Structure 1
Amino acid sequence: MQLISCPWCGPREEVEFAYGGQAHVPYPEDPAALDDEQWAHYVFFRANPKGRFAERWCHSAGCRRWFNAIRDTTTYRFASVYRPDEPRPVI
């Protein structure tokens, strides 16, 4: 079992967390102006790199807060975690 360090609660078992997708994806400035293809691109198209990647996670069985993490997609190891109001670390 892997431990994930929640920025508010500290290290907890991975079963307490829920994956939330790619971090730092900006919401469209004018969502009403988007057509179906543009909405599909916003909702479904995400980067899928091999290596370190910025992701969103939720401590769903704990404080229920969202946070961001840099995780290596090849090893599943977390390099760092940070609150949404903190600057994104250099990958």
Structure 2
Amino acid sequence: MLLITCPHCGPRPELEFRWGGEAHVARPADPSALDDRAWSEFLFVRNNPKGLFAERWNHAHGCQRWFNALRDTHSDKFVATYPAGAPRPDIAAEDAR
């Protein structure tokens, strides 16, 4: 079983967590100023890299808090987890492997 380290609770089994999409996506300052195309791109277009990726996770069956994680999508290895609102750790993709 995959263990995910909640920055608030420590290592827990993956079944306790829910994935929340790409991390660090800024909401538009004035959403009403966007046309339909720009709004749909904000809602639906996300990165899908092979390698290190910043994601949002929720500890749904634990503290129920949101946090961010750096995960290598190639190996499914969690490289780092950090509280929501904290800056992304400076970790190179080569260091993750």
Instruction: Tell me the CA shift for residue 85 of structure 1.
Output: 2.9
Aligned counterparts of 2:65 and 2:26: Cα–Cα separation in 1: 19
SS in 2 for 1:63: coil
Give yes or no for the alignment of 1:87 onto 2:87.
yes
Q: CA RMSD in A?
A: 0.8
Aligned counterparts of 2:45 and 2:26: Cα–Cα separation in 1: 13
The aligned residue for residue 21 of structure 2 is 21
Give TM-score scaled by structure 2 length. Answer: 0.90
Instruction: Tell me the CA shift for residue 34 of structure 1.
Output: 1.1
> Which blocks of at least 5 consecutive residues in structure 2 are unaligned?
92-97
Q: Which runs of 4+ in 1 moved over 2 A?
A: none
Instruction: Tell me the CA shift for residue 86 of structure 1.
Output: 2.0
* Length, aligned pairs only: 91
% identical aligned pairs: 58
Instruction: Tell me the CA shift for residue 55 of structure 1.
Output: 0.5
Aligned counterparts of 1:4 and 1:76: Cα–Cα separation in 2: 11
The aligned residue for residue 62 of structure 1 is 62
> Which blocks of at least 5 consecutive residues in structure 1 are unaligned?
none
